[in-house]
Chains A and B, each alone.
Chain A
Amino acid sequence: MTMSDAAIYKGSHQVIPTVNPVYAQRRKFRVDGEHQVLWNLLDSVYDPELPGLTIWDLGVLQDVRKQDDTCIVVITPTYSGCPAVDTMKQDIISALNDAGYQQVKVEVALAPAWGTDMISPAGKQQLSSLHIAPPQEDDQPNCPVCGSSNTTVLSQFGSTACKALHQCRDCFEAFDYFKRI
C-alpha cells in the first residue's frame, strides 16, 4: 500500500486511512503481479453501464495469469444476475486481441464475492462525477450535485441492481446511489 492513495495526514502524527483494507489488498496483489503489461492494457476496459469506470476500478477484475501462450483473465461479477458480464468478457478479449494477444480466456470466479469495498478510490471519484453517489458506510449518501447531506431514499433499487434511487431535499435532484454490499 502506498501512502499517497492509502492515507491522508492530519496534523503531524495521526493517519486517517481513506482506503479500506479490501482495496488495499487488491492493489498490492496487482502491483506485485507478474504481468504488469496485461494489467495495464485492461485499464482500457470499462463497465458498459458506468462510463469511465474501468473493470479494475469497479473491482470486477481480480487476476491476470498466463498459461503458455494463453492469457487468463479472472473477473468476479458484481451482482449474481448482472447482465453486463457478457459484454465485459467480450471487451476484455477484444482489448487483449488488439494488443496482439491472440489467445485469451476469461474466467468468471464466484469467490471472493464482489463487494463495494473492492471499488478503487478513483472509481468512487468517477461515480461522483457521473452524479452517482458512491457507497457509504452508513448508507446515507450526500447529494452528488450540491453536496447536501439532507437526502432521502426514493427506492431501494435504481436503474440497475447495483444502485438505489435517492433524492436531495435541498436541490431536489433525484440521484442514483451505488449500494454498499
Chain B
Amino acid sequence: MNCLQWVVASGLLMCCCTSKDMKFQQYFAQGQNLYETHCSNCHQKNGQGLGRLYPPLAGSDYLKNNFEASICLMKYGTSGEISVKGIQFNKPMPGVPSLTELELAEILTYITNAWGEEHEMITLEQTSQALKNCTPP
C-alpha cells in the first residue's frame, strides 16, 4: 500500500459514521480484493498500467468519458484502438464474464477512489443499468 492509499484508507476509516460510508467502505475493500484477483496483473497494483501495453486506470479519461462502456468491457472484454490519457492502446483485453453486478460496482468503487481521486460510490443500479446496454462482442 502506498502512502496515499494509507491516508485515504485511514481517512475513510475515521469518518465511517453513517451507514452510507459503511457501505462505501465495504464496497471499496471488496473491490480491492477483486481488483487484485482479476485486474492488477495487467493494470498493476497502483493502477498505472504498463507501457503502451496495458492502459492506466488511475486518472483514466477513458473511464470517465465512457463509463458504461467500461463496465461492459470489464465483463465482456474488448479490442481495437483506444486512447487513454493521450496514449494509443491496442491490445485485446479478455473480460471476466463471471463478474456480477455487485462485484462490478465494488471494483469500480475501488478504481475510482483508490489512487488519489475521489468519486461517489458506484451503485448496483448503475452497473445493472449499464449491463443492459452492453453489446457483448
Q: Tell me if chain B binds chain A.
A: no
Interface of A with B (CB < 8 Å)?
none
Chain B interface (Cβ within 8 Å of chain A)?
none
